[in-house]
Structure 1
Amino acid sequence: MSKQDEDKPDDHSADAGPGSRPLGYSPSMISDPRLRYEFARAMIWTATVGAVVLAVTIARPLLVIFGGMVFAAMIDGGARLLGRILPIARGWRVAIVLVLTVLFFAWLGYFAGSTVSQQAAQFPSVIETQLNRLVDWAQTQGFDISQAQLSKYAGGITSGIGTVTRALTGAVGAITTVVLIAIIGVYVALEPQLYERGIAWILPQGQREEFYKTASDMAYTLRRLMAGRLVGMAVEALFTYVLLVIIGVPMAALLAILTGLFAFIPNLGAIISGALMALVGFSVGVDTGLYTIGVYLLVQNFDGYVVIPMIAKKTVDLAPALVLAMQLIMGLLFGVLGLFLADPAVAMLKVALERRAEHNQSEDEARAAAGHGA
């Protein structure tokens, strides 16, 4: 057989159809290896771009679903805590947690409506006045800065937030998002095993056991993380209110509520609440401003070195720089909702990576033991 005959495709080597009739090559088959390689590369790039576009498109719904998981973990943590003192069915414990949550928000709304509403109306003017004083002081020190420049920078930052943020920051969008998160969280908290089995059923059978372990670790970590956040919020709000009332700082109730809410966002939340507290304090006088700074430092140190370690211990050991970077990214992409969920997202990613590393290590040890046995 000649060289040319060897290079020719053998049509008779193809799969035979009915009656053993040779079919030959398909018209869509690429016989040249170089063309097949380039075609594979093009398909990989196309799939990558498509995955990125799909991720951007469904990012907001996925974030809402994740927010529902976080809310479910908070409800589940409360139900488990009640289970230690009330030996009743899980459904009743979940119902008690939900009723107490609704009552708390109803009281907070009543308190805010009767006590904090007047302070909230005065709050913007106080902040604006203090910012103007800060700009005037900076100008006397030789800094070329003005209120118009600050407004311009703030407007640029706001306009840089994407479409998802604009959808979430609207009044209707925000209410809809909160309602969806609450509904998803309640459903998942009532029957968490149902949804866990549903996800496991999609996975290959050999990966289901590892998935159950990872999901259990994630749920445990999320419960501890949320417990630390809630306790920290309550402690910071209570201590801030008491310490500010002692010296007569104006808007103590509003500042306490804002401090408690911002405590849910580590790092950035503490900075924002501290800045607002100092601005209000300096509106009264230098002594009051310095006192509010002292209150801020005392509360933050007590929460950071006593409350959070006591609740979370080593369960959620997150690097502050990593959390801050995730907050900046998710805050830019998703606004306030991204800021609130950045910390839980980092914790879940950390647990998943740790479980994957442990699984790979156990597989390597098993292969090594099998090799020694052989």
Structure 2
Amino acid sequence: MSIWTDRHVTVVVSGGIASYKALTVIRLLMKQGAQVRVALTAHATEFITPLTFQTLTQQPVVTDEFTMTDPTHVVHVALADWTELMVLVPATANLIAKVAQGLADDVATTTILATTAPKYVIPAMNSHMLANPATVRNIAQLTADGLHVLQPATGMLAEGYRGQGRLPEPEAIVAWLTDQVIDAESDLPLHGKKVLVTAGGTREMIDPVRYISNRSSGKMGYAIALAARAMGAQVTLISTPTALKRPHGVEYIQVTTAAELLTQVTKAFVTTDILVMAAAVSDYRPVAPVDQKIKKQADDAHLTLQLTETTDILKALAAHKQQQFVIGFAAETQNLLANAEQKLAAKKVDLLVANDVSQPGVGFNGDTNQVTLLSPGATPVTTAVLSKAAIAQKVLETALTRGAAGKK
């Protein structure tokens, strides 16, 4: 379930060239389950019509303090009481000044003043206006009053030159808002926990253009990182190079080889509460990778590579765990349960996630998976074929019920 599901969000739109971007912000919030209502300043209606917002939200748009659709309710108080979270986007210099001074001269500012909900301010203005001491002072006052302010972006402005003051893109705004909400929710199941996730397939170089690797796409590890963040955790994702978009709101560290992964995981493991080793680590590496591309030999149709084992990172870390809850993965192609139980015992992990990657819809590269969850002394549980996002949620929920919540 999204952090936004059924959350009451009021979006206050003021008049600026970036007003149109508020529509995309609203659409993204609604897509994640939020209920959104809109209040417009008079200047905002010069840039975009109330009907556009009303059509998008399927809710009346508040533009006038004296339009009484329901005589039993005061417009701005009713909206303020309904609000659980308020977003001012775009917030012009004028609106920021009014809010900083507590002015209430229209329906937007009276609603802002009347609500006790957390307020998030997304400024957008000319760079000179942003740098003006009055605006600097007003933004500082908002922060002192407990409002949350997103730093404007730098880019091309409406005036035709480059500077700071541009409204960030809607996706970045919603990602920032999501981080703010997650951090404020102390009752989330992983609040205060540090979760370390590894993802992708390591690469062991043969020469400058060739390497040994595997078919891991990193999708399962990335899904777990996102799920852990949504459950309130501080997440570090250590990933090999992938085609996936870096998840917002998590610390990201890129590695390539098993040795690099070992170094980074060992460093972060000390302060970790939950380790999820979803990366597919190469079992072997070339003994002596060469500095130049190996050329095909006309008189020899064979090439022999001498390989040596890499360090078993999961086993090494699990053997030295203290407060950590360690989750490992086992990709098998036969005898799934027998091989998984053997790995569970040998590597001394707290939870093993095993899957048969020979089955359709399971394992590498796809968007679905089916896993069997094993813990010492517990009956194995096999999921249905689900999205990797749903599997990630299931893995973390199982970890919490099997001891991760109690480890400090």
Q: Shorter-chain TM-score: what band?
A: under 0.3
Counting helix residues as a fraction of each chain, which structure ranks higher?
Answer: 1
TM-score with structure 1 setting the length: 0.23
Q: Indicate the structure whose relative CO is greater, using CA pairs within 8 Å and at least 6 residues apart.
A: 1
Counting strand residues as a fraction of each chain, which structure ranks higher?
Answer: 2
TM-score with structure 2 setting the length: 0.22
